[in-house]
Structure 1
Amino acid sequence: MQNDVRDLPGGNADSLNRFLGGSPLSVAFRLILLSILVGVVLAAVGFDPWNILHSIRVLFQRIWDFGFDAINWAWRYFLLGAVIVIPVWFLSRLFGAPRGR
């Protein structure tokens, strides 16, 4: 029994590393880089760090407006295509274009 290996509780450094997911310096560096990346994405969306609630409201307003603009855009293209497609379809049926039998 002298050669048995026993797991002893780790010291403060081991428990801190396990809690953070790595050494404190590397975790801080990763968090700084991730914060910069997320900040760039949020700035591209239009968020302002000094007035975050107003920025969120403006974002939802833009998404709402864009949603109805997308429906309007699709409707206009549908009508534009239908001006050509429907008469061609009707004329092909009227004049007896060959049918796949």
Structure 2
Amino acid sequence: MSDGMNKFLGDSPLRVLVKLLVVSILVGFVMTVFDWYPADIYYGIRNFLLDLWRTGFAALGRVGDYLLLGAVVVIPLFIILRLFSYRR
């Protein structure tokens, strides 16, 4: 069972516990410095989703524009790089 637990956790349970404690302290410190609270994060995500729903997903409408703008640069570069690597 110990091998299965170590494999699941990625390390021994005691070492994982220590790592989790250290990371929890660091995250708690950063959240305190920025005056963040778990409820604020929850309400921020909730409000974002509600605003997204209310706007009829208009906020995601620019994704197509970004795709086309990026494709104008990326696809010719890809073709040029493939042509240069084809000659080798």
The higher radius of gyration belongs to 1
What TM-score range do you get, normalising by the shorter chain?
A: 0.3 to 0.5
- TM-score normalised per structure 2: 0.43
- TM-score normalised per structure 1: 0.38
Determine which structure has greater relative contact order: mean sequence separation of CA pairs < 8 Å that are 6+ residues apart, divided by chain length: 1
